[in-house]
Copies of this chain bind each other. A is one copy, B any other.
Amino acid sequence: METKFNVVGRRLPMHDAAAKVKGSAQFTADLTLPGMLHGKILRSNIPHGKILHIDTSRAEKLPGVKGVATGKEIPDRLYGIVPKARDEYALAKEKVRYIGDDVAAVCAVDPEIAEEAVQLIKVDYEELPAVFDPLEAMKEGAPLIHEGVLNNTSFSIRKEFGNAEKGFAESDFVFEDSFFSQAVNHAPLEPHAALAQYDSLRGEVTIWSSTQIPFFLRRNLSSTLQIPESKVRVIKPKVGGGFGQKIDMFAKDFCACWFAIKLGKPVKFVYEREEVFISTRQRHPMYITVKTGVKKDGTILAQQFKAHADGGAYNSTAPTMIALSCFFLMIPYHVPNLVYEGHHVYTNKPVGGAMRGHGIPQARFAVERQLDMIAERIGVDPAEIRMKNSIHAGEPHPAKFIINSCGFFDSVKKAADAIGWKEKRGKLPFGRGVGLAGASFPSGVSNMSHISSGAVVQLGQDGAVNVLSGAADIGQGAETVISQIVAEELGVLMEDVRITAADTGVTPLDPGTFGSGVTVRAGNAARLAALEAKNKLFEFVARKLEANPEDLVAANRKIFVKGSPETGMTFKDAIKGYQYADLPMPIVGRASWFPPATEPTTLFKEDGNFAPSYSFMTQSAEVEVDLDTGRVKLLKMATAHDCGRAINPMLVEGQLEGSVVGGMGQALYEDVIVEKGQVMNPSFLDYGFPTFLEMPEIETLEVETDDPIGPFGAKEAGEGTQLSPAPAIVNAIYDAIGIDFKELPVTPEKILRELEKKRG
């Protein structure tokens, strides 16, 4: 798309790229404070059991140990980002529910002593029978993991749009298929860490945490520590990846604060990689059955969807996850009649949580795989069936989504063309094939319980623009995108903008990084704040130029009368003039942004416009299957992505490439293997996600739309693209070897087994 912008739409490096590349950027683990102590967590080594007694005496006596905490001492306050789903204590109180559960914490003068002390704590358990599969856990007589949670099913959802029964009755064909998607770990490069400091006079605890949600973390810490929210300050240093794994509070956050308060010294916790694997969060394993009714031409008339998510030992975001995974069957296809049912089930295993796509990748895998199977069965081209069922902007939507912009139809076409669909699909030699899959994703959530995104923009007398934003950049480039938006609005260069983000003691309220809402929410807030500041400056400049403020434009560090770039002054001169006219400095703009109130859903309870806008994408893959080894080589993946206007196409491409890696992992490699509750591969070496060696050729295709809601037309980018790579790859495997895999990951072993079967 031709751009009328100067900063927006440009391929600019992340504002903190040099700092990160050269090692001067500070992540939580890099921080030190005078007198700092170090903490470690003792974790359960049994999958299910009652805590009878914890003997911490030997640990306490170890020289260098400053404090030991167990569940007994800490307040009886559950935490969790979703209030109604709270079921977890920072340190286990009566029971442990999985291998890795937080049992006790130690604080010592160095991490080695803390670790040694952890080993000296003796816990007497009464072991309880454990259950490791959600379908088993739902059966009568299964061990009960949480008191009072019948059938271990903590959340169930069922909802119908239209009339599914009628839809099926009117269908020419009805197909039902079952799928399974495995446990995947986010594996952010930066392990989870927290550093806390307490000011006894002010009664205030400050925590630096590798978090995606500084303001929600503040709320969770306030509640679990039992101190007012105003006495908790959360600062987010650089974060080395989150992917949803850092939207929860963890024991490290609570314990760092707890010890800091108790001992009056700064306390740091840094998780080991193994802890990240077993004791944080993972993508939920999910059993899914999809029943779809279509007309002969492939038009979808009805769909029934049933999912059982293996939640592991705790809820985390359970109700949100299970609802999302069902609810977003409403895009990108027109499904006039839909009934869905989802269950979140406890098991004695590591805990499922939000992960890039948040419940939808599993559902999308099932639906996009089935769509290909249906297409094959009824003899319709898989690309055609997707275009035929594509939703379009402005159409009335069965769940009352308001789709202001939609590039889905085009995305299917572009992705198909890019992979050579017409020439290749069904026409390549055995062992080679192409496939595609589509998806859509919300750009944030319309109903956010009155939590707006705020921004403050200050124009200083040095000509620099200082932005305060509550947005949490976790490596995706939020700060860069916000800076570009502000620079564009003010008509300055990207390098003129300096952003301070995510310190609850300095920056305005923001919900944080989840649901792909950052660009739209925080970006709109920043743009409006910049506009307010600009308007103040324009009033002054207009007087100087004897012009109307409305006739002024700002671009490339100049403010001038529209159409006469020679009639104007530089941005710096304007600021200086403002200052020397003794007008109040700095010039401050302030704004906050809510999604427009167009019947937002009450989070899954009712219909309504779930998100301010929706992104769309189709990914196509070409694969080669080694018929001797069963190994799949992903040769190419093309992504056609409608993310509205790309504020920074380079960052969007980075997101797309990252989602290809994520999708490859989900499709072919990754699996958190658990045996009797024990994670068997909790290391980068054993877990085996894709590396540079496995990377395919990646082609990025722009399907730019100009969304009316987002800043400069932008929508979410990079989370939706995580939904379709895996089904695209598995669909391509079908094209290559004619085998319909319905369980992830599609490992060489499975391929060889199926090839064997096929051969007879």
Which residues in A have some Cβ–Cβ distance to B below 8 Å? 13, 15-19, 22-24, 26, 30, 32-35, 197, 199-204, 218, 222, 228-233, 264-266, 450-452, 454, 456, 458, 460-464, 466, 468, 495-496, 498, 500, 504-506, 508-509, 579-580, 582, 584-586, 588, 590-592, 594, 597
Contact yes or no, A584 B22, CB < 8 A: no
Contacts A585-B509, A586-B454 known; A462 to B18 CB distance under 8 Å? no
Copies of this chain present in the complex amount to 2
With a cutoff of 8 Å between Cβ atoms, the chain B residues found around residue A26 in the complex are: 33-34
With a cutoff of 8 Å between Cβ atoms, the chain B residues found around residue A452 in the complex are: 582, 584-585
Contacts A19-B199, A22-B200, A454-B584 known; A218 to B509 CB distance under 8 Å? no
CB-nearest residue of chain B to A19: B199
Cα distance A35–B580 when bound, in Å?
A: 42
Q: Would you list 6 pairs from A and B whose C-beta atoms are within 8 A, ordered by A residue?
A: A13-B201, A26-B34, A230-B463, A452-B585, A582-B594, A588-B590
Contact yes or no, A461 B509, CB < 8 A: yes
CB-nearest residue of chain B to A506: B500
Contact yes or no, A585 B508, CB < 8 A: yes
Contact yes or no, A228 B462, CB < 8 A: yes
With a cutoff of 8 Å between Cβ atoms, the chain B residues found around residue A579 in the complex are: 450
Cα distance A203–B17 when bound, in Å?
A: 12
Contact yes or no, A15 B202, CB < 8 A: yes
Q: A460-B509, A582-B594 are in contact. List 11 more A-B contacts (CB 8 A).
A: A23-B34, A24-B33, A24-B197, A218-B462, A229-B463, A230-B496, A451-B461, A458-B508, A509-B585, A582-B597, A588-B588
CB-nearest residue of chain B to A218: B462
Cα distance A588–B454 when bound, in Å?
A: 10
With a cutoff of 8 Å between Cβ atoms, the chain B residues found around residue A468 in the complex are: 506
Contact yes or no, B454 A585, CB < 8 A: yes
CB-nearest residue of chain B to A456: B588
With a cutoff of 8 Å between Cβ atoms, the chain B residues found around residue A506 in the complex are: 466, 468, 500, 506
CB-nearest residue of chain B to A594: B582
Cα distance A413–B665 when bound, in Å?
A: 85
Cα distance A464–B204 when bound, in Å?
A: 11
Contacts A508-B458, A584-B452 known; A18 to B201 CB distance under 8 Å? yes
Q: Which of A228, A454, A462, A505 lies at the interface centre, i.e. has the most chain B CB atoms within 10 A of its CB? A: A462
- Expressed in whole angstroms, the minimum distance between the Cβ of A17 and any Cβ of chain B is 5
Cα distance A586–B505 when bound, in Å?
A: 12
The 4 closest A-B pairs by CB, nearest first: A18-B201, A230-B464, A229-B462, A584-B592
Cα distance A606–B292 when bound, in Å?
A: 90
Cα distance A218–B466 when bound, in Å?
A: 15
With a cutoff of 8 Å between Cβ atoms, the chain B residues found around residue A500 in the complex are: 505-506
Cα distance A505–B500 when bound, in Å?
A: 8
Cα distance A15–B203 when bound, in Å?
A: 11
CB-nearest residue of chain B to A18: B201
Cα distance A452–B452 when bound, in Å?
A: 32
With a cutoff of 8 Å between Cβ atoms, the chain B residues found around residue A461 in the complex are: 451, 509
Contact yes or no, B505 A450, CB < 8 A: no
Q: Which of B32, B34, B203, B592 contacts A585 (CB 8 A)?
A: B592
